[in-house]
Amino acid sequence: MKFGIIGLGYVGLATLCGLAKAGHEVIGVETHQGKLGLLKSGHPPFHEPGMADVLQEHADQITLTDEIANTEHVDYLILAVGTPSKPDGSCDLFYIETALSELKTKHKVVIRSSVPPGTTDLLKIMYPSHTFAIVPEFLQEGRALADVMKPHRVVIGCEDLEVAEELAGIYGRLGVPLICTTPINAELIKYASNAFLATKISFMNDLSRLADEAGADIMTIADGMGLDPRIGRSFLNAGIGYGGSCFPKDMDALLHVAKENDVNLRVIKAAVKVNDTQAEYVLSKLHLEPKTRVAILGLAFKPGTDDMRDAPSILLAHHMVARNVEVIGYDPIATWEYPQAASVEEALKGADYAILVTEWEELVNLAPEAFSGMRQRRLLDARNAWKFARDPGDVSYEGIGRMQRP
Ligand code: NAD
């Protein structure tokens, strides 16, 4: 089959690669000239394993363009453009509406962007010549292609029976659980899933403050809780809070929709509140004075990606720079606007504090000796991930919710 994909960011490019690998012809449309140029030379504009190989190996099936008109004869048009927050927290559908407004021919449109409940039904009214389906994307950055090839589930939200059946046939080949439902259910499954994961994180962060005060260890608590299959161990790690391009904006959008519907989503509000104060909580563990030098180890919002959107490292640096603290960052691949070292050693040299902010393997596995170049060896593990936590040697170590180290 022939697919058009609008927007070649994390979701769009992963989708393009997945479809090309499955043998389909794909036309990728990207309006950002810098990204398009890189893609045309075979380089993904961000760090994601496996994508460069697919672009090369399946080059004959892939057309890359900035012209949406080139998608005129595709079987399906997939929308994977961004859906950022507006200042009031609501979801901005500008990129979706712009793309749809530029279409000159009738299409079967599949929305893969995350949108608030009711959006697909609204788009059907606004653009009546197209048929719409929403198939929300659940991929995780750093493993985007693998997730697209083998997702935990595929959710198809579509009122048109023929299109729903055809999509079920296409996605059915992945051999994963399939849910066919209404667009509003599909939209809410995506938002609710992100909100639930973010709430798990905030739940543990909230509890970590009690663990700190009461002298308990949040990691042991998480391990004990996580063995119950009704709870599960994933997303139970206390730390600096969630960031990234999805959780914060999707939580805000969900709260905004709830408000419009006169519904008070108290649990989600509380989860956001905990997260909004977590960076400050982490900072409160430091004794910062002007000219204190802090090495921030790990900048990306999570390991495995160079994505800096809403990364907690930026928030930390922002707070510290405002207090005249000297900040230097290190990340294996991500970059930021603050001073950055080319190696861990360089970042740690002369530092008073080292804060682990992104749990990259190379950072998690640092030996206590790696900190020998610091002025004062004070370590703050903002991800509770440092392996040497059990045997920190002569460094001062503090985690989040770990007053009693195991
Ligand atoms: P992104 O910002 O990385 O990519 C969007 C791309 O669309 C950009 O490159 C932009 O230049 C391009 N674009 C915008 N308008 C265009 C147009 N008219 N024509 C062609 N290209 C256009 O975004 P992303 O991270 O891939 O996320 C896309 C959507 O998927 C969002 O709704 C997001 O919430 C959702 N999502 C993201 C992830 C993730 O981990 N990143 C996971 C699941 C769902």
Query: What are the pLDDT digits (tens) for 311-326?
Result: 999 999 999 999 999 9
In this prediction, the answer to ipTM > 0.90 reads: yes
pLDDT value, residue 396: 85
pLDDT at residue 406 in the model: 39
CA gap 19, 6 in Å, rounded: 14
For the CA of 102, the closest atom of ligand 1 is 18
Stretch 252-263: mean pLDDT, rounded? Answer: 98
Average pLDDT over residues 272-298: 95
Average pLDDT of the segment spanning 45-49: 95
Q: Does the Cβ of 315 fall within 6 Å of ligand 1?
A: no
Thinking of the domain 2-181, which architecture would CATH place it in? 3-Layer(aba) Sandwich (3.40)
Q: Annotated active-site positions, please?
A: 246
54: pLDDT strictly greater than 50: yes
Radius of gyration of the chain (CA): 23
Going from the Cα of 182 to the center of ligand 1, the distance in angstroms, rounded, reads 23
Ligand 1 atom closest to Cα of 136?
44
CA 90 / ligand 1 centre spacing (Å) = 17
The fold adopted by the segment(s) 193-398 is: Rossmann fold (3.40.50)
The answer on pLDDT for 150 being more than 50 is yes
How many Å lie between the centroid of ligand 1 and the Cα of residue 250?
14
Euclidean distance between CA atoms 403 and 401, whole angstroms? 6
Please tell me the predicted confidence (pLDDT) of residue 389: 60
Mutate to test the pocket of ligand 1, among 6, 11, 32, 242 (most ligand atoms within 8 A of CB): 11
Give the model's pLDDT for residue 403: 74
Lookup: tokens for 374: 């610091």
Mutate to test the pocket of ligand 1, among 48, 81, 90, 91 (most ligand atoms within 8 A of CB): 81
Measuring CA to CA, which residue among 324, 306, 319 is closest to residue 355?
319
High-pLDDT (> 70) share of the chain, %: 98
Scored b (16 or more CB within 10 A) or e, 232-254 reads eeebbbbbbbbbbbbbbbbbbbb
C-beta 82 within 6 A of ligand 1: yes
Q: Please give the average per-residue pLDDT across 174-201, as a whole number.
A: 98
Calculate the alpha carbon distances from 128 to 101, 105, 109 in Å.
12, 12, 11
- Looking at residue 303, its pLDDT comes to 96
> Averaged over 230-244, what is the pLDDT?
97
The residue whose C-alpha atom lies closest to atom 41 belonging to ligand 1 is 10
pLDDT of residue 395: 79
2-181 and 193-398 share one fold = yes
Which helix (H) or strand (E) segment holds residue 211: the answer is: helix 183-214
Angle at CA of residue 315, ends 314 and 318, nearest 5°: 85
Q: Cα(285)–Cα(287) distance, rounded to whole angstroms?
A: 7
Q: Which of 86, 104, 137 to mutate to test the pocket of ligand 1 (most atoms within 8 A of CB)?
A: 137
Antiparallel, parallel or unpaired: β 326-330 and 293-297 = parallel
Nearest residue CA, atom 30 of ligand 1?
A: 113
Among candidate residues 10, 13, 189, 153, the one with its CA nearest the CA of residue 83:
10
Name the band, by pLDDT with cuts 50, 70 and 90, for residue 246. very high
Question: 30 C-alpha vs ligand 1 centroid, how far in Å?
Answer: 10
| Span from the CA of 95 to the centroid of ligand 1 (angstroms) | 9
pLDDT category at 391 given cuts 50, 70, 90 is: low
pLDDT score of 270: 98
pLDDT at 133 exceeding the cut of 80: yes
Query: CB of 237 closer than 6 A to ligand 1?
Result: no
Atom of ligand 1 nearest to the CA of 14: 26
Q: What is the DSSP secondary-structure string of 236-279? A: ---SS---SSSHHHHHHHHHHHHHHTT---HHHHHHHHHHHHHH
Tokens of 284: 């409160």
Return the residue matching tokens 């989708």.
15
What's the CA-to-centroid distance between 80 and ligand 1, angstroms?
A: 5
Domain edges within the chain: 2-181, 193-398
Band of residue 369 on the pLDDT scale cut at 50, 70, 90: confident
Nearest-angstrom CA–CA distance, 207 and 239: 11
Q: Is 156 near ligand 1, meaning CB less than 6 Å away?
A: no
Range 153-175 average pLDDT: 97
